[in-house]
Amino acid sequence: MESAPAGAASSVSTNRNINNRVSGNVPASKTTLEQLFSTRSLKVTLEDGVPVAVIAVQRYLSDKVFCTDQPHDPHDSYTYDLTVTDGVWRTRGVLHRSLNRLVHKNTLRPGVEIRITGCSFVYNEQRLGQGYICIEKVQCAAGARSPVLDGLKDLGCLSVLTKHGMENVGVRDDFPLKMSSKHYLPLWNNEDPEGEQWLPQRATPNLVLDVSRITLLCDLESSLGNARGGQPLLVRVIHKSRLRYYGKCDITDAKKKVDYPYQAYFEVADQSGAMSLVLWSELCLDWYHSLHVGAVLYIHNYTVRDSYTNRSRPQMEHHCLRVFRSKEISLNRRNTASVLSVVPQKNLPVQWGLPDVAYKFTCRSELENLADNTACDVIGLVTFVGRVQRIRCQGDKGPEKFWTYRWVHALDGSSPRPFILEVFSSSQPDVFHAICPMTYLVCTQMRVCPGVGSSAPFLTSSCETQIFITGSHRGQPYVCDPRVKDFIRWTKTLEDKAFLDKTLVGGHYCYPPAPPVFTQPLQNGSVPVVLVAACDLKRELETLRYREHKRLAVQGLIAVVRYVQPNRDAELSCGEAADEASARTSGTSTARSASEHRDVGHTKNGTTGQTAPSGVATSPITRTTVPKKRRAPGSMSGSESDPLDTGSTSEEGSVESNPDPAEPNQPLRWESRDWWRQRQQVSTHLCGDGLQQDSLARGFSFEEKSPLLRWSGLPSSHWTPDQCDQIGPPVARPGYYHTTILGINQQVALDAAFCPVTSSGDPRAEGLPLDPHGNSLLSCLSAGFLCPLGDPATPDLPSPEEVLETAGELEGAHLLCVLDLCHLGADRVEVLLHKVYPVT
């Protein structure tokens, strides 16, 4: 008989009959982790599964990508370790590659409950006491929070459960289970430091330095080739870059394998000028957090190399220093280990002649006068911070990478208009995810990007951008800058309560707006606008990763427009909304596996539609009743008629159901007169869930600060008890227009929500070209807002009935539709119609 696993309770002996099952099938009653680990079989199948809570999801680079191992994404280059608990024990296991998509969609995340229905135990044949459990099949409980975590306040009280012969697995939680990798990456990007191996800022001891024999940077510039530095350097850090991770897959040569493939650039200066310093590999773990801007370094055992020219550099004209470009200082632990020390500020005599850190703070009132790509520093009081989103790193031939970013509005008192900031992750995850309204935000080395048309310019991060918020300003060199002092004086004149009432968090936001005239190809800010065929939309939607944002353009017609009344979420489910949006359509339902994601949430067949009563169908605006029965998810097909489809068309191009005077909030609707015929030819109808709660910004309050930051940020790789806090009830959903876009070849239809800007208080109003228009539906779709865009407290806007009265302009109009797509987790995909261009 096999002995109990290390740390397992003696009660396991009562279940030894499980070990006699050669097939590895565990009885349904045996559903705890303890009993699962007591089986002798290396491969186990469970009918009901082991219910566990996920408490950590950790990512690291795979050794090799097996492109034939379906159904995983062949571009996925990473492995995921899961830590799970049944409330008594916790254990770590490797997620099978075929289940990586559950992490990509944020279906499998810390805090949720899963059932492990299939697993195997894998021993490391070349190391004693090493191995892991591979989790091969799971059932996810629709993203529900696990009841196992109720009342669990201290994860450290959970005993680690391992299998006999794998006792060394649970020793270090920050060490990947597949021993070829030495550290974890952050879950959503590659730039942030992750794990306890990254040392915090080191204390600066009192040092006795001999500065009588030091080398000046100007002397290094004249060195030939790569040379080992002789005398030490004494320099000040004046710029700091974010981390660069350069890990690669399929490295078979052990000599080329780097355990910590990181690199970080610093610009350092002495009295003779400035030069780049690059920190490599393990030294990044030891020193990256300590080498902050303004720090003074004393360096031994460095290497002088020819500078790598194909990289970004900070703009340094305002430092008034001579900049040496041909050489750079390299610090590495290999060969002769580099030695560096941070000199305490109190030990810095003036006679050393080190230059001070200089800044180039720009007021908002001066922004329009700056040339494109000019670098500047800004300080402002945050009024709006958008949700964290991701875009794919383009053109990288290595493992796929995502950049994380968020949009921020900040006022500095010099103008009523805010800075519009596109802030990318700067290897400061604690600061980046803590940006919130009412905080003083400093961003350095931001680059000026032009607006589109008459829209305002905005600022985007560079590789050298550093961000600071309230709580991290103390001791920074910029605190004595005159522009910073002017800003602080302005903030003291504000009334906090009135200012707080105008602040917002999260929701959909993208800048700049699409240009007045579409050109192909189009680069709209940091997000390229790709013109795709309608038949490719399904693939584009399916390949979206969690919080990935894409902006696409598709040619087509708008066949149906339905106005969805405000605050109807409780009355109209997302499934019914999709049915109503594709009223009286025909098709067959093809159910998909519960483990697969769905097209924009799901695809549906419409069921509503009745013959319009005589004398009613005289207006292109019609009212339809909410369908009483929903159809099963599936794809629309024109090969089969819907037995409930008995509607007829009116001459004005509208379809109407029998209005029920007793039913409130009947939606307004316009439908093309050709839709009844065109829908018969539609092979795929990608139906969305309408306007999502995650698409709407929320008012900020300090009482809800923590849950609001979690809601608008990205999930942590580890569950903590404070994640139980929930944000308040759903925000009031505004009315919006639910559109059905028919591809130009009339084979594919897509539902998209159009939510026009109706108030100057909406963050999306900032930067819009507010040229007046006639408030026709087509002009609203083209401009993105209703006229006049005034004070939110006194709106004077056309009614939805008046807007839809003009929908006849869309009849047969060839349009180019710009769509914003964002994956919101699990099977929820945000599909918003941003703008249309008439094609003439």
Give the integer Cα–Cα distance in Å for 132 and 291: 38
| pLDDT tens per residue across span 353-394 | 899 999 999 999 999 999 999 999 999 999 999 999 999 987
- Comparing CA positions, the residue from 301, 325, 321 lying closest to residue 221 is 325
**Hey, what are 412's tokens?**
């500095």
Q: Are 602 and 687 in contact (CB under 8 A)?
A: yes
Write down the pTM of the prediction: 0.85
- Comparing CA positions, the residue from 485, 428, 420, 470 lying closest to residue 446 is 420
Q: Are 418 and 430 in contact (CB under 8 A)?
A: no
Q: Are 116 and 138 in contact (CB under 8 A)?
A: yes
Question: Per CATH, which fold does 364-505 belong to?
Answer: OB fold (Dihydrolipoamide Acetyltransferase, E2P) (2.40.50)
Whether 10-171 and 217-352 share one fold: the answer is yes
Question: Per CATH, which fold does 10-171 belong to?
Answer: OB fold (Dihydrolipoamide Acetyltransferase, E2P) (2.40.50)
Ranges of residues in the chain whose predicted pLDDT is under 50: 1-23, 26-30, 67-70, 569-664
Q: What is the pLDDT of residue 242?
A: 96
- Show Cβ contacts of residue 767 under 8 Å, excluding neighbours closer than 6 positions: 420, 451, 455, 456, 458, 511, 512, 513
| pLDDT tens per residue across span 167-217 | 766 556 778 988 778 899 999 999 999 988 898 888 777 777 777 788 999
Helix (H, G, I), strand (E, B) or coil at 115: strand
- Comparing CA positions, the residue from 186, 179, 185, 189 lying closest to residue 63 is 179
Q: Are 113 and 145 in contact (CB under 8 A)?
A: yes
Give the integer Cα–Cα distance in Å for 325 and 177: 43
Give CA angle at 691 (685, 692), nearest 5°: 110
Domain segments of the chain: what residues? 10-171, 217-352, 364-505, 528-694+731-755+812-838
**Structure-token match 């910073």, residue found:** 484
- Show Cβ contacts of residue 183 under 8 Å, excluding neighbours closer than 6 positions: 60, 174, 175, 176, 194, 195, 197, 259, 260
Q: What is the pLDDT of residue 712?
A: 95
Instruction: Give burial (CB, 10 Å; 0-12/13-18/19+) of 145.
Output: middle
Q: What is the pLDDT of residue 779?
A: 95
The per-residue DSSP string of 424-487 comes to E--S-HHHHTT--TT-EEEEEEEEEE--STTSPPEEE--TT--EE-TTS-TT-GGGG-HHHHHH
Query: How distant, in Å, are the alpha carbons of 15, 43, 119, 128 from that of 1?
Result: 12, 18, 22, 21
- Comparing CA positions, the residue from 74, 177, 93 lying closest to residue 138 is 93
Q: What are phi and psi of 208, to 5 degrees?
A: -105, 110
Q: What is the pLDDT of residue 182?
A: 87
Q: What is the pLDDT of residue 588?
A: 32
Assess if CATH 2.40.50.140 describes domain 217-352. Answer: yes
Q: What is the pLDDT of residue 818?
A: 95
**Structure-token match 């961000």, residue found:** 467
Q: What is the pLDDT of residue 792?
A: 66
Q: What is the pLDDT of residue 655?
A: 37
